[in-house]
Structures are given as C-alpha cells and as structure tokens.
A = this chain, B = another copy of it.
Amino acid sequence: MGENDDGDVIEHHVEEEMEKRDARSHAASSFPENVTPSDRDQEGHSGTQSSHRLLAYSDALISIIATVMILPVAHTKMEDTEELRQSLQLLLTTKIAVYLMTFLIVTVAWAAHIRLFQVIVRIDDCLALLNLACMMLITFLPYTFSLMATFPENVLGILLFCGCVMVIGVIQCLIVLYAFSRPFLLNEQIQISENQTFYKEHILKVIMRVPLMCLFASIVSFIFFQLSYVLLAIVIFLPYISQALKWCRNKAMGQVEETPDSMMFYTYLPNEPLSKERVEAFSDGVYAIVATLLILDICEDNVPDPTVVQKQFGGSLVMALQAYGPEFLAYFGSFATVGLLWFVHHSLFLHVTKATRFMGLLNTFSLAFVGGLPLAYQLTHEFPNNSRNELEAIQISCVIIFFAGIFQLAIWVVALFQEQETLHPYVRYGGHEHVFMLAKLALYPCVALGTFFLTCILSKFSAPIFHLMEITVPFAFIVLRLMVRMGLVLLRLVFCPDRPDQRSIIVEEDETRVPFNALGT
C-alpha cells in the first residue's frame, strides 16, 4: 500500500492549495482514497468504485424519461375555433393518461433502482455495464406504453411492455447475484451479517415477483387481453396491496408479527428510508427538464423564415418577433414558476434529514404536476384574449400550480409527524425557521388559489390578473422573510398585546429567530 500512502500526501497537499473546504467535503465521497478506513481495505479489490456517479447518471436518465411523455401532449395542435373543453377531452383520454401512467411506472422502476443500490453500495465495471443495459430498457418503457394506449386491443403493446419488464428483472437478478458473489460490494450491514443467503433469497424473491407477474400477464393476454391490464395494474400496486393484506391479517389474527429489525431493505413500509440524495437528484432532473421544455420548442419553431419576414413584415424582424411575444412570455413565466417551485423544494430538503418512502410518493405526485406546467402555460397564450378558452387555460394553470405546491406542503406535514427522525430541529414545530418554511411552502398554493377565485369573479381581467401573479410571486419570495416577521409581530400584537416583548431585551444578531412557540404560551 506504499503507493497509496504517497497518494494521500500529495492529495492533501493539492487540497490545501485549493483551499476549498466545501468542495473537499463533497469530493471526499467520490474519491476512493478519502473514504473511511474500512473502505480503504476494499480498495484491494481493484476496480471497485463508489457508486455515486453511476446513480447520479441513472437519476438523470430516469428523470428525463419520466417527463418526456409530456411532449406529445404539448405538441397536439389545437384549433383556435375549437372549444378547449373538447380538445382537452381528446387529450385527457389518451395523452395525459399516458403521461401520468408513464410517470408513475418510471418512478416505480426508479424506486426499485434505489432499493437495489441501497443494498449494493459499491460497483465495479461489470455492474456499471449491467446497469447501463437496465437503463436502456427503462428508457424504452414509455414507447411501449404509448403503443398500449394507442392500440389498446392489440396484444403487441402488452407483450413489448412485459418483455422489457422481464428483461429488466432478469438483469436486476444478475446484478444481485453478482454482487452477493463479491460481498465487498454490499452494504456493510449485509456484509457483516451471518445470514447473507437469507438476504439474497429475500431480495431475489421481491425482485422476481414483478417479472413473474408480467410473464403471467403476457400469457393471459393471448387468451383474454383485458385481464392482462388488470394484472399489470396489480403489479404497480403490488407492494401496497401486500402491505394492506399483511396489516389486515395481523389485525384479524390479533398478533403483531413485525419483520425483524435487522431487515431494513425491501420492506415496502411507508417509513422505509429512501436515499435523500437520490430523491434530490431525481427532482433536480425533472425540474431542469421541465424548466427548459419550452425553450426546446422556441428554438426550433420560433425563428422566423427570412422569406416570410421579407414578404409579410416588410423585412422588419422586430415586427415578426412580436407575433411570438406570447410564447416568450409563456417561456419566462413557466421557467420562473418551475424555478421557484424548485427553490421551495430545495429549501424543504435542506431541512429534511431522512427521506421516507411515503415522502417519496408525495414528491412524485408533486413532480407529475410540475411536468404539466409548461403545457398549461403554453395554453394560456394560445387563445384570443377574453375567450372562454383562455379563461379555462388560466384556471387549469392555477390548478396545476396549486397541486404541485400542495404536495410539497404535504411532504413537510408528513415529515412533521415524525419530526424527531426526519427534520432538523430548527424547522420542527417551535423551531426558529418553522414559520418561515411554512410561509415558503404555502405561498404558491395560496397565490394559485387566490388567482383561481379572482379569475372566476373577474373573468374579464383573467389574463392581466394571471400576468400580475407571474410578476409579483418572485418578488414575494424575496421579501418573504420580511413579511413573515411583520406577520408574527402583528399576530403577537393582536393576541398578546400586554405581554412584554422579551426580544427587545435579548438583542439577537440573527433577525429571523422569531420564537413562534412564544405564541402558543
């Protein structure tokens, strides 16, 4: 290990030069040499690597694929003369359903991937290549799904889908078998455990459940294809169903037969830990794709043709671009909204110490709505002013923003229920950041709800109200801290006007440490 020691000295030297404390603490996790001594020993098995970057790349791929299916929805051209309600019905029946189902299925595949790589914490070249093959098949799932939606009565879609899922299952089994044959790749808990074989069999059993169901569904599809759709639906909700059944049985039998504490993985309990880092990476990917979806279209479609400019606008490019004005407005509006929703998500997960399965589920719902945002924004500018279509498009946008925000709020509320485990002390109930976090999370749902009702009442001014909302919300975020503080002072004045303000005596340098729990007493 003489070489390695040399390397350490040099590296510390380099890092001292760089003097980047933060960068160093991140980098530490990806440098094989900076890891803990127990990892160091494993370096002896050459070619073993930290799985960090492989997972980041997988998250990026899966998040792109999850949001891709919104594009066919967005590109469905709507006729101005047609009523939005009618075209929406057409959209709703197939494309939006496909989008939502794809999002759900891809996130199920993603959750399975997380679970797998919570057990396998180190990789080598072979695992990396197997994982890439797995990713290739996952990215193909949306296509098989849209085939199923377009040709519901044709078995080919079902067969392709089941085929993909089965191959993914086989690859995952290969990964598990390979990893258990080289135990230094595994999670430390399993590595030191005595009954590794039990773990292996349990994990293989869980993984094989889905492909076996798919095999069954594909066989059934030849006889009675409607049944195979039911089977596929069962596949998705399998963990929930089995959990519910287990719970019912335990209640009926009157005995509480918990899984042993040592079984931390593949439990499918709502509080099963989910890698917080991967939830963040996946969300970042979705937010980034969604924020830029509209610029994809703008770059492709909204550069006017030189001959058209010459003929129709007398060579004036400014005039030609004015026709695209609403689309630019839609772009900036949706970018700002998605960016600010990301900002809220970012603030929230800064304060979360442990993500659970249930929080992950709520996060998925929030992201599914976020994915629909660019489409909604695009719709708001596609119809003539003051038309019924425009009003409905604006109201749909408000509803989408509302749900995207309310599910973020729900994550926090769920976290608060187990705040000892999942939240940092300063955002728990009574913590000094509690109210501010609540205000951040509540801002978008409240604004969306307010805009929705305002447009109901003042339907003539729906567009100006909506644009005003777009412009004011970013500024609202900037002055939010100030607003929260003023609100609290007001509340205190109203409810406890006689109480001497202790804070004026203890002058804290930190302006925002508002003792919210003081209100309760």
Name A residues whose Cβ lies closer than 8 Å to a Cβ of B: 3-4, 6-7, 10-11, 14, 17-23, 25-33, 35-36, 38-39, 44-47, 49-54, 56-57, 60-61, 64-65, 68-69, 71-72, 75, 118, 121-122, 125-126, 128-129, 132, 135-136, 139-140, 142-143, 146-147, 150-151, 154, 156-157, 187-189, 264, 273, 275-277, 280-281, 284-285, 287-289, 291-292, 295-296, 298-300, 302-304, 306, 309, 317-318, 321, 331-332, 335-336, 339-340, 342-343, 346-347, 349-350, 353-354, 420-421, 424-426, 431-433, 474, 477-478, 480-481, 509-510, 512-513
In the complex where A26-B277, A156-B318, A478-B129 touch, is A510 in contact with B68 (Cβ < 8 A)? no
A510 with B188: CB separation less than 8 A:
no
A291 with B33: CB separation less than 8 A:
no
A187 with B129: CB separation less than 8 A:
no
CB distance from A156 to the nearest CB of B (A): 5
In the complex where A288-B57, A318-B156 touch, is A300 in contact with B75 (Cβ < 8 A)? yes
A284 with B56: CB separation less than 8 A:
yes
* Chain B residues closer than 8 Å to A28, beta-carbon distance: 25, 29
One of B35, B150, B285 near A303 (C-beta < 8 A): B150
Copies in the complex: 2
Q: List 22 A-B contacts (CB under 8 A).
A: A10-B420, A14-B353, A14-B354, A14-B421, A18-B264, A19-B188, A22-B51, A23-B118, A44-B509, A45-B510, A53-B349, A57-B288, A60-B288, A64-B289, A65-B292, A65-B295, A68-B296, A132-B339, A142-B295, A143-B303, A151-B306, A157-B317
**In the complex, A129→B343 CA distance in Å?**
8
A280 with B346: CB separation less than 8 A:
no
One of B3, B36, B51, B302 near A143 (C-beta < 8 A): B302
* Chain B residues closer than 8 Å to A27, beta-carbon distance: 276-277
In the complex where A27-B277, A147-B303, A510-B46 touch, is A136 in contact with B339 (Cβ < 8 A)? yes
The SS class assigned to the A binding surface is: helix
In this complex, what residue of B is CB-closest to A350? B49
B36 with A335: CB separation less than 8 A:
no
For the complex of A and B, the 6 pairs showing the least CB-CB separation, nearest first, are A60-B288, A19-B189, A7-B425, A3-B425, A22-B121, A132-B339
**In the complex, A44→B511 CA distance in Å?**
11
* Chain B residues closer than 8 Å to A188, beta-carbon distance: 19-21
**In the complex, A10→B426 CA distance in Å?**
13
One of B45, B139, B287 near A292 (C-beta < 8 A): B139
Interface centre among A26, A33, A38 (most CB of B within 10 A): A26
B7 with A26: CB separation less than 8 A:
no
* Chain B residues closer than 8 Å to A154, beta-carbon distance: 317
B50 with A22: CB separation less than 8 A:
yes
In the complex where A339-B135, A350-B49 touch, is A143 in contact with B68 (Cβ < 8 A)? no
A69 with B478: CB separation less than 8 A:
no
* Chain B residues closer than 8 Å to A33, beta-carbon distance: 353, 424
A343 with B142: CB separation less than 8 A:
no
In the complex where A421-B14, A481-B125 touch, is A54 in contact with B346 (Cβ < 8 A)? yes
**In the complex, A481→B45 CA distance in Å?**
14
Interface centre among A21, A45, A189 (most CB of B within 10 A): A21
A353 with B302: CB separation less than 8 A:
no
B425 with A6: CB separation less than 8 A:
yes
B128 with A343: CB separation less than 8 A:
yes
* Chain B residues closer than 8 Å to A299, beta-carbon distance: 68-69, 71-72, 142-143, 146
